[in-house]
Amino acid sequence: MKIEFCGAAREVTGSCHLIHLRNGKKILLDCGLYQGNDKKMKDFNENFPFNPEEIDVLILSHAHIDHSGRIPYLVKKGFRGNIYATHATTNLCSIMLLDSAHIQEADADFNNKKLLVKGRSKDLIEPLYTKEDVPPAMEAFVSLPYDRWIPIDENILLQFKDAGHILGSATITLQIKEKGLLTTLGYTGDIGRPDRPILRDPKPMPLVDYLIMESTYGNRNHETKSLEQEHLLEIIRKTCIENKGKLIIPAFSIGRTQEIVYIMNQMYNEGVLPKIPIYVDSPLAIDATEIYGSHPECYDEELSSYILQDANPFGFKTLTYIREVKDSKKLNASKEPCIIISAAGMMTAGRIRHHMYNNLENPNNTFLMLGFCAPGTAGDLLINGIKEIKLFGETKQVRATIAYLPGFSAHGDKEEMKQFIANQKKVRKIFLVHGNYEAQLAFKKELIETGFNTVVIPELMSIHEIEHVE
């Protein structure tokens, strides 16, 4: 068999890897949207490097849009196979893909209005897909449990195992029989972190012969959990109590938002959280939080016992969820110190853009980034000290404080990733994906020093032959 790396190769977005079997079958691992602002993004998203009609099966590691976001487009372009995912991933996709369709439509509308003003009606663009394309895509999902070997073909067994990254996230292991020989191929998807709130720790994968592995934080380690919480409290006190400003936290609607709300919920119950209003301003986050509430099979022991004392771990007295646009707009006029948690996490779209527009120029405010922001996104530019930024056609000065707590990331750091694959004693080759090249080079060196002999950093669209294990 061969693996073709069709996305997230020396990059952190657009995950998509294609396995070509000798019998002609084609298995796709993830079908992510490329998120960013450049022309490359448009080309990547619109042009599959394969014919979707020829893909037999799609296996999805988790619901994040950079792994799942082109599924409706894949189905629109003729894919007719099954999409295998865990139960929680399927549920999350049902809201996330609709939200993604909405963003595609809104972006196309926005651009087309500008083109019409310029008299360029010939250049109007179409959204990648629309809300109508989502239900047929959801029809193709087949939900599977964790930890069981499930036959998906007469020659292929599939097992999902907890990846501890977001609700429903899984590593993928495939046992593939070709010409009477069995090869075990693993794909980590995004590797989560041990000892994080809400989710169970990442579980070791079965022993594999070949491994496709993420490497986002291949060159760094995170802060310890207690330090992170201390820093978070310091930032809240400084911004909202001393400066009487607003603390704006851009957060992915799924995963990051629930984690930060759950942490604040615990701080509230411990009496350490200042009594200021906290808003979660994201309809998608509200829907996702409901889905989090309905998948106790994914909870870790701490949350499982915590909900015995607090039935709603994602809600407390000073917290308000905001769904309606009119209520979101009221936050702009309000002068009260508060915390606003809003999406998108990398500040590329969504209501967070309005909060940037209204709050970036006030030096009393703080924008707090949690976790990874892809290069070139507004979140990344702010972390790197950009002085002004263009929003809705206007230039805004960055006068607010920009704070960064990378340890809130849902991705394992260098040591955690090494620990995660410590059991892989018979792996013959590791392919590093989903990382910046610099982080990957550093991680490759570490892995080789640890005793993993063959580590490859595939280029985009490169094809690698997988030799059978005798």
Report the residue number, 160 or 268, with the smaller CB distance to Zn ion. 160
What does the alpha-carbon distance between residue 36 and residue 17 come to, in Å, rounded to a whole number?
Answer: 19
Classified as helix, coil or strand, 342 is: strand
Report the residue number, 94 or 111, with the smaller CB distance to Zn ion. 94
CB neighbour list of residue 457: distance below 8 Å, 6 or more residues apart = 10, 431, 432, 437, 440, 441, 444
H or E element at residue 175: strand 170-178
Report the residue number, 169 or 173, with the smaller CB distance to Zn ion. 169
Amino acid identity of residue 129, one-letter, is Y
Report the residue number, 72 or 345, with the smaller CB distance to Zn ion. 345
Query: Residues in the site for Zn ion, rule: CB under 5 A?
Result: 64, 190
Nearest distance in Å: CB 186, Zn ion? 17
Report the residue number, 64 or 102, with the smaller CB distance to Zn ion. 64
Report the residue number, 45 or 216, with the smaller CB distance to Zn ion. 216
Report the residue number, 167 or 232, with the smaller CB distance to Zn ion. 167
CB neighbour list of residue 296: distance below 8 Å, 6 or more residues apart = 304, 307
H or E element at residue 18: strand 16-20
Report the residue number, 56 or 287, with the smaller CB distance to Zn ion. 287
Strands 2-7 and 463-465, by their bridges, are antiparallel
Nearest distance in Å: CB 434, Zn ion? 9
Alpha helices in 360-432 (DSSP H): 378-383, 414-420
- Do 246 and 240 touch, CB atoms closer than 8 A? yes
**Residue among 459, 446, 458 nearest 220 (CA):** 446
What does the alpha-carbon distance between residue 255 and residue 198 come to, in Å, rounded to a whole number?
Answer: 9
Could you tell me the CA-to-CA distances from 60 to 187, 224, 433 in Å, in that order?
10, 30, 16
- The residue nearest Zn ion at its CB is 64
Nearest distance in Å: CB 62, Zn ion? 6
What does the alpha-carbon distance between residue 72 and residue 131 come to, in Å, rounded to a whole number?
Answer: 9
What does the alpha-carbon distance between residue 224 and residue 303 come to, in Å, rounded to a whole number?
Answer: 20
- Do 419 and 221 touch, CB atoms closer than 8 A? no
Nearest distance in Å: CB 411, Zn ion? 7
CB neighbour list of residue 171: distance below 8 Å, 6 or more residues apart = 61, 160, 161, 162, 163, 186, 187, 188, 189, 191, 202, 203, 205
Nearest distance in Å: CB 287, Zn ion? 18
Strands 16-20 and 26-29, by their bridges, are antiparallel
Place of tokens 């609709």: 98
Nearest distance in Å: CB 277, Zn ion? 30
Nearest distance in Å: CB 66, Zn ion? 7
Nearest distance in Å: CB 63, Zn ion? 8
Nearest distance in Å: CB 217, Zn ion? 12
Nearest distance in Å: CB 246, Zn ion? 28
Q: How many helices (H) and strands (E) does the chain have?
A: 14, 22
H or E element at residue 439: helix 437-450
- Do 162 and 170 touch, CB atoms closer than 8 A? yes
Report the residue number, 96 or 261, with the smaller CB distance to Zn ion. 96
Nearest distance in Å: CB 68, Zn ion? 9
